[in-house]
Amino acid sequence: MSAGYETLIVTFSDPIKVLDNMFADADAWGTDSLKGWVEDYESTRFTQINGHTAVITSEYNMPCVKEWLTRCTAIADIKEF
């Protein structure tokens, strides 16, 4: 049985390095970056492809990741595959 990964290509309104600032209190978040937060979800990976855009893949946690991203970050564009 092959894994059914979902993929998002997310273009954030703010640069990813600016979004990383929300994790300045790493003790509170358990990580110090957006990448670290996303990858804390099992089977989920965050690959930054430029200053504003990342590819996020997840086997089964994508609904939670997508909900948090849309609630807590400004997204300029999001494509689902």
pLDDT digits (tens, 9 = 90+) for 63-75: 999 999 999 999 9
Distance separating alpha carbons of residues 16 and 20, to the nearest angstrom: 6
CATH number at residue 42: 3.30.70
Distance separating alpha carbons of residues 55 and 45, to the nearest angstrom: 8
Residue type present at position 14: D
Residue 64 located in a structural domain? yes
Residue 25 located in a structural domain? yes
Distance separating alpha carbons of residues 70 and 15, to the nearest angstrom: 15
What is the total count of domains within the chain?
1
Residue 1 located in a structural domain? no
For the chain, the distance separating the N- and C-terminal CA atoms, rounded to the nearest angstrom, is 20
Res 3: pLDDT: 64
Residue 23 located in a structural domain? yes
pLDDT tens digits in sequence order for the chain, 81 residues long:
456 899 999 999 999 999 999 998 878 888 999 999 999 999 999 999 999 999 999 999 999 999 999 999 999 999 999
Q: Tell me which residue range forms the domain holding 18.
A: 6-80
